[in-house]
Amino acid sequence: MADEFDAEAYARAAAAALRLPLDPRHLPGVVANLTIAARMAAMVEGAALGVTDEPAPVFVAGRDAPTP
Residue 29, in any domain of the structure: yes
User: Based on the structure, what is the number of domains in the chain?
Assistant: 1
| pLDDT per position as a tens digit, 1-25 | 447 899 999 999 999 999 999 999 9
- Give CA–CA dist 64/59, Å, rounded: 9
Residue 55, in any domain of the structure: no
**Reported pTM:** 0.69
Identify the CA nearest to 30 among candidates 3, 56, 15, 11: 11
Residue 23, in any domain of the structure: yes
**Domain extent for 31:** 7-45
Say yes or no to pLDDT of 67 above 50: yes
pLDDT given at position 60: 81
